[in-house]
Amino acid sequence: MSHYFLAYSKNQDIRQLSTSGGFVKEVLAHALRSGLVDKIIYPHMPSGLEPIVEITSDTEKLFSPCANSIYQDIPLTRFVRDRIQQNERYAITTLPCQSKAFLLGSQFPLVIELQCGRVPSPAWTYGILTRQNLTPQDVKRFIYRTGEWPGQGRIETLDGRILPFNFRRAWDEEVHHKPPRCCGCTLYNKSPQLVVGDPWRLLPMFSGESGMTLLRVNDPSLIPWLTEANIKMTAISHQKYQQSVKSLMRRKKRE
């Protein structure tokens, strides 16, 4: 039976700079420190507009806003096929359409699935730049979401400007340009362990407060281990969880 929580990092800076509540980064770091895994596979976008996937055993590398949610196609499955070592155990974050590739038992003791409405086409990101009179060549760092709930986009330019944009408004505008592979996608909750998302319906929108991560624990045996992480978790009912994911579920025709 699944259990449901609102969760966030106890470190206010990490919570503030992450996508929702910084739960995922803290859990990945905890997986390393506690010896559950040897390495973390994580996408980030440290410069420009090209996401890269890395494998690390350095917890500090995870705690950067460059590793917040990246709304681009990331060839995670191919990366894993080419790069993992047979004698190592990994934790990984996945989108539902990628999850089944990592449910390989003992090599992936921790698979954290991100709820997913869609991965926008690259034209969406370029459109955000165009509205700021920028081209991809102007970008030093592009962070889709960071800061106070529900997170602002932040573009840092090579000539030293920092330009914010309204993530939520940009996301809502993009909905009509869903890429074909995401149209009719009903995938959700494939991970046997943890599913995370935004508590859109549970936190007041644009509250100016710090964020929280909506958490579904599919494997209850993980709960004692999770409580040892640098995380605050508050249990919520199944009804509350459904209230938050209702619109996503309606779109995905599941649950």
Ligand X SMILES: Cc1cc2nc3c(=O)[nH]c(=O)nc-3n(C[C@H](O)[C@H](O)[C@H](O)COP(=O)(O)OP(=O)(O)OC[C@H]3O[C@@H](n4cnc5c(N)ncnc54)[C@H](O)[C@@H]3O)c2cc1C
Give yes or no for a contact between 218 and 2, defined as CB atoms under 8 angstroms apart: yes
Residues 31, 91, 114, 229: which binds ligand X (CB under 6 A)?
A: 114
Q: Are 139 and 49 spatial neighbours (Cβ–Cβ below 8 Å)?
A: yes
Give, as ranges, the residues between 29 and 88 that touch ligand X (CB under 6 A): 42-44, 62, 67-71, 74
Among 4, 16, 21, 182, binds ligand X (CB under 6 A): 21
Alpha-carbon span 115 to 220, nearest angstrom: 19
**191 interacts with, out of ligand X, ligand SF4, none, CB within 5 to 8 A per kind:** none
H helix or E strand, kind and range, residue 100: helix 96-102
Instruction: Answer yes or no whether residue 95 interacts with ligand SF4 by CB under 6 A.
Output: yes
Do 218 and 194 form a contact (C-beta atoms < 8 A)? yes
- According to the binding rule CB under 6 A, does residue 20 interact with ligand X? yes
Half-sphere exposure of 106 (CA within 13 A, CB side): 4
Under the criterion CB under 6 A, does residue 116 sit at the interface with ligand SF4?
yes
Nearest CB to ligand X, comparing residues 159 and 219: 219
CA dihedral 109, 115, 121, 123 (to 10 degrees): -120
User: d(Cα 32, Cα 29) in Å, to the nearest integer?
Assistant: 5
Residue 192 exposed, middle or buried by CB count within 10 Å (0-12, 13-18, 19+): middle
182 makes contact, choosing from ligand X, ligand SF4, none, with CB < 5 to 8 Å by partner type, with ligand SF4
Contact with ligand X (CB under 6 A) among 3, 6, 19, 195: 19
248 interface partner picked from ligand X, ligand SF4, none, CB below 5 to 8 A per type: ligand X
Least distance (Å) from ligand X to the CB of residue 87?
Answer: 23
Query: Given the rule CB under 6 A, which residues bind ligand SF4?
Result: 95-97, 116, 118-119, 181-182, 185, 187
Query: Given the rule CB under 6 A, which residues bind ligand X?
Result: 18-25, 28, 42-44, 62, 67-71, 74, 93-95, 114-117, 119, 196-198, 213, 248
